[in-house]
């Protein structure tokens, strides 16, 4: 199948890297010390490498954690906000709208910049694990908000969400600039210093530095930074993959589950507080499992498994409402609804939540990465808005049909991933870009 699509260079079997991820703190340990470029070595005894990468990952993770808190904020706070607005002057409404708009703008910016930065600074054998941990912070934010939001007011929840924002603001002053970006703008001395700092004082970065500079120079000779370059033929495959992943991620129904979770639980006859807590507890092991497997099983495998799980969750939830509509198995239908929501959200946390952003940050060359990220980000939020806006209308039309529609989209996403999405595990960014460009030449 992959040979027919011309993806063979990206789908060569790689030996799994010896990476383990702590279940408690999400930390990453590795017995493999190879750098991102062929011949580059990073000595495991040099703790500076781990410290710098962990700090950089933590800073990027703060943006994801903030976004996770924001995602669930709308669901948990809905009834409280509506009640309070009845006692609030018009200025309060405007401030609330402005605050939510600011959150959306900030998270929309960082949800792509964070993965892109981590993709550019981490060695190829650690890239997936570090980026997965950072992206999983979105789900950690969701889980924490689900638990805390069941016991405190929505205003207090909003204030708590500002804590990771402050950590992110302080952290950006501690982390190095992306070496690849420094190479792109011609700051050779700063580029080598940043790369050496990331790989460790005793690491040999000569081969990796040469590969990055050579690729960047050739790229700049053959193209410029105009946004229309993104639509050249050589970037078509990357563009289809990037935009397609955002579509299948956004239209898979997450916004409907997240923003209207309490209504789903209530209509199924389940306590909202109990449902929120169960969701939060289940998401954490799913996140840890996905982060532990991403550099061993690969991105495509986890994405397909995640999409299949989402499809199953939607089918179970839709079946629950179908049974309720026909007054069948009244004792079983609430259990099916709860099981469907748990399966869906656990599957999303396992792969579909973070891996699309990881792949997008890997497949675009640096000269179009900014415009590509903007486009993919825009598509992601448009799809999220479509699901959020249409969910109530679809739910009133047919509660069961709504989730069967989402199940169909998730099923189609499995085919899309299997046919078009390349495997990027174990490849440097330069190797990935060269292989994708070679497909259409």
> What is the per-residue pLDDT across 105-156, written as a single tens digit (0 to 9) for each?
777 777 777 777 887 888 877 777 777 777 667 767 766 776 777 677 777 7
Could you give the maximum distance between any two Cα atoms of the chain, in Å?
72
Residues 280 and 146 sit within 8 Å (Cβ to Cβ): yes
Looking at residue 93, its pLDDT comes to 67
> Which residues share a beta bridge with 30?
19
Looking at residue 58, its pLDDT comes to 56
Q: How many C-beta atoms surround the C-beta of residue 378 within 10 A?
A: 13
Residues 356 and 241 sit within 8 Å (Cβ to Cβ): no
User: Which distant-in-sequence residues (6+ apart) come within 8 Å of 50 by Cβ?
Assistant: none
Find where tokens 């039309």 sit: 397
SS3 at position 204: strand
Question: Phi and psi for 35 in degrees, rounded to 5?
Answer: -85, -175
* CA within 13 Å, CB half, 60: 31
Tens of pLDDT, residue by residue, the chain (441 residues):
333 333 333 333 333 333 333 333 333 333 333 333 333 333 433 334 446 655 665 555 555 555 545 444 444 444 444 444 443 333 566 777 777 777 777 777 777 777 778 878 888 777 777 777 776 677 677 667 767 776 777 777 777 777 777 877 787 888 888 888 888 888 888 888 888 888 877 888 888 888 888 878 777 666 655 667 778 888 889 999 999 999 999 999 887 777 667 777 776 677 777 777 777 788 788 888 888 888 888 889 999 999 999 999 999 989 988 998 888 887 788 888 888 888 998 899 888 988 898 898 888 887 788 788 888 888 988 898 898 888 888 988 998 999 999 999 999 999 999 999 988 888 888 788 888 876 544
Tokens representing residue 383 in the block: 């799809």
**15-439 topology per CATH:** Growth Hormone; Chain: A; (1.20.1250)
């Amino acid at each position: 199948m992959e040979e027919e699509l011309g993806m063979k260079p990206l789908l060569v079997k790689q030996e799994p890297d010896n990476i383990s991820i702590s279940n408690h703190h999400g930390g990453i340990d590795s017995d493999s010390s190879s750098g991102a470029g062929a011949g580059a070595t990073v000595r495991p005894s040099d703790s500076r490498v781990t410290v710098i990468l962990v700090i950089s990952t933590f800073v990027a993770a703060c943006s994801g954690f903030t976004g996770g808190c924001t995602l669930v904020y709308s669901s948990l706070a809905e009834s409280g906000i509506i009640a309070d607005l009845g006692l609030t002057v018009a200025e309060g409404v405007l401030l609330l709208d402005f605050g939510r708009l600011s959150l959306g703008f900030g998270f929309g910016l960082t949800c792509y910049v964070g993965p892109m930065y981590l993709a550019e600074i981490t060695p190829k054998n650690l890239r997936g694990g570090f980026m997965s941990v950072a992206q999983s912070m979105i789900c950690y934010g969701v889980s924490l908000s689900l638990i805390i939001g069941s016991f405190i007011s929505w205003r207090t929840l909003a204030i708590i969400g500002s804590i990771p924002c402050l950590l992110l603001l302080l952290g950006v002053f501690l982390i190095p600039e992306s070496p690849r970006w420094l190479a792109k703008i011609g700051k050779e001395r700063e580029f080598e210093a940043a790369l050496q700092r990331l790989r460790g004082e005793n690491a040999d970065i000569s081969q990796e530095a040469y590969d990055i500079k050579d690729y960047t120079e050739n790229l700049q000779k053959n193209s410029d930074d105009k946004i229309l370059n993104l639509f050249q033929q050589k970037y078509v495959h990357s563009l289809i993959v990037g935009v397609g992943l955002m579509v299948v991620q956004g239209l898979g129904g997450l916004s409907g589950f997240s923003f209207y979770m309490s209504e789903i639980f209530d209509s199924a006859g389940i306590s909202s507080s109990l449902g929120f807590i169960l969701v939060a507890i289940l998401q954490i092991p799913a996140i840890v499992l996905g982060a532990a497997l991403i550099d061993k099983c690969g991105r495509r495998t986890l994405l397909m498994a995640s999409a299949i799980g989402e499809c199953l969750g939607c089918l179970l939830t839709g079946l629950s409402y179908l049974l309720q509509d026909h007054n069948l198995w009244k004792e079983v239908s609430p259990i099916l609804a709860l099981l469907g929501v748990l399966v869906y959200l656990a599957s999303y946390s396992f792969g579909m939540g973070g891996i699309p952003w990881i792949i997008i940050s890997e497949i675009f060359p640096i000269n179009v990465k900014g415009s590509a990220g903007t486009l993919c980000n825009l598509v992601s939020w448009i799809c999220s808005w479509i699901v959020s806006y249409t969910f109530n209308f679809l739910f009133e039309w047919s509660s069961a049909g709504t989730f069967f529609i989402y199940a169909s989209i998730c099923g189609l996403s499995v085919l899309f991933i299997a046919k078009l999405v390349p495997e990027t595990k174990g490849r440097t960014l330069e190797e990935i870009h060269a292989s994708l460009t070679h497909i259409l030449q």
